[in-house]
Structure 1
């Protein structure tokens, strides 16, 4: 049976997808703003993100539990997009402009998800997805060349963003094959990161974070703890519900461009032609890999579909 979507529902789905892309695209901008223009550092922002989101989602997780997920699966999900991921990409954002993150981390996440899936499950993609993969590789390499050639970015930051893409890919794969929905996966990551990270943070730093201006803390509380962890997820899930998973997932391709535009508006970071070229190449590659397609398993391999992120959770 074909699901009929009214024009009003379609527009609502599009607006929800755009809202999710905007919030997620603002992640590197708000994070870099906190790292470079306030007394907060990567450890403080990580504390805020998972302290707040963990408290918000704790009642949900207590009500629904693990849902049969193994501790190994939970551990990989937490490492993939929890406190370790946040610390890694924040180290990069403290040293490099948003444009480098916008190209390298989302692009390498999709690229590595495809490569790991092909290695573990024998998935073979069609010509369009292969072309998209080639474009992503080209864009990420272009950004790397731009970084190592002595532009504004740091080679160390480039490596941190690549590592962030790898961690994000691990989360994407594990959450996809665990069968966990986006909200449940987010609750697990947020609450477990809170439980594991906050005691270590408080033991080493105490409450010194409260010495920062209340406005600076408040921005990170609202964005990191509320918007990116829960509100954006609601918008994304609603978009997928109204438009379907295939079309809804394509909004992920808007995240890099959104990040670069917001960085120019809010941080004054003007991307040069090389960075813009890398962004366009990676975005085109993301669109090609995210659009609907039929993956073909290799002969004798376990046929599994190429993973699609449950949402471009940064």
Structure 2
């Protein structure tokens, strides 16, 4: 039951995370990347701090041990670097294409889970990884039909790929932290508290560079649509999505999270076509199908291994 609850949490977390591509595209060019991140995090903290103030105070006591270095790394990779790479990448590529490229996250997470957490990788996972990599290569335009694919476009796609890699590192860091916490004499940190602390650290990281982007002048010049996008980026894409993420990763392994991270490209692609009216070409759709196939194969592998674990526990 807990594992199913964890998968439901992960589904919601990555569905919301996929909308960050569209939000970033709407704000890009109107506000600086660091300003977007800082304001969205500030809005998220305005919701999070009152919501979990009591638990936040308790976490500084003896009931739960806060691993500050781990939380700092999670804030750097999961919020700061992910958003910086994504926002700068969206300056050179489309939201639809960026959304598909985030489909590299499942394969990268599975590889890191094997290397760092020693989670098993079988032929289903390997085939899923190969399918994802093939899709990314196709999307990158390394086999182009024309000459429309520019160097700037390639740079944009590579930056989005770095964002996917940052997300994968964050996934592994979160799972490793979850495995090391929650001992018999220690109470795990509440998901909302983790989200608050990580958001606060990322906010502080953005403050200085945001100051060089003339944030006050930029914010004064945006309309209600941009403010609405910032509100969505903060309380929903940051606060709610990360609370769901931490609740899910406490109940599932990193490879299961990898399978559900495929919701990011799916959500981003659908929203970019529906809301932004962007067109995806044959190469993008073909690459997207390969990425989706990789996600399904990794998900099938999790279903199989999950069943084996249940049998093993029953046999014991």
Q: TM-score range by the shorter chain?
A: 0.7 to 0.9
| 2:135–2:291 contact (8 Å) kept in structure 1 | yes
1:32 to 11, 14, 25: 25
| 2:191–2:247 contact (8 Å) kept in structure 1 | no
TM-superposed CA distance for 1:18, in Å, is: 6.8
Pair 280,35 (structure 1): closer, same or farther in 2 beyond 3 Å: same
| 1:52–1:225 contact (8 Å) kept in structure 2 | yes
Tell me the SS of whatever aligns to 2:160: helix
1:101 match: 98
Deviates more, 1:283-292 or 1:147-156: 147-156
| 1:57–1:191 contact (8 Å) kept in structure 2 | no
| 2:14–2:264 contact (8 Å) kept in structure 1 | yes
2:311 match: none
TM-score normalised over the length of structure 2: 0.75
Tell me the SS of whatever aligns to 2:77: helix
TM-score normalised over the length of structure 1: 0.75
1:258 match: 267
1:159 match: 158
**Aligned-CA RMSD value:** 3.6
2:113 to 99, 114, 117: 117
Cα deviation, 1:269-303, whole Å, max 9, x if unaligned, reads 110111011111111211222333439xxxxxxxx
Pair 100,261 (structure 1): closer, same or farther in 2 beyond 3 Å: same
TM-superposed CA distance for 1:47, in Å, is: 1.8
Give the unaligned 5+ runs of structure 2. Answer: 179-188, 307-316
In the aligned structure 1, how far is the partner of 2:246 from the partner of 2:113?
24
1:50 to 26, 34, 41: 41
TM-superposed CA distance for 1:240, in Å, is: 9.5
Cα deviation, 1:97-155, whole Å, max 9, x if unaligned, reads 12222222232x22222222323344431221221111111111212235986437711
1:64 to 59, 64, 70: 59
Tell me the SS of whatever aligns to 1:288: helix
Pair 94,137 (structure 1): closer, same or farther in 2 beyond 3 Å: same
In the aligned structure 2, how far is the partner of 1:56 from the partner of 1:237?
17
1:229 to 238, 241, 248: 238
Tell me the SS of whatever aligns to 1:40: coil
In the aligned structure 1, how far is the partner of 2:226 from the partner of 2:33?
13
| 1:32–1:93 contact (8 Å) kept in structure 2 | yes
Pair 182,282 (structure 1): closer, same or farther in 2 beyond 3 Å: farther
| 2:78–2:166 contact (8 Å) kept in structure 1 | yes
Give the unaligned 5+ runs of structure 1. Answer: 296-314
TM-superposed CA distance for 1:157, in Å, is: 0.9
In the aligned structure 2, how far is the partner of 1:255 from the partner of 1:84?
17
Pair 74,219 (structure 1): closer, same or farther in 2 beyond 3 Å: same
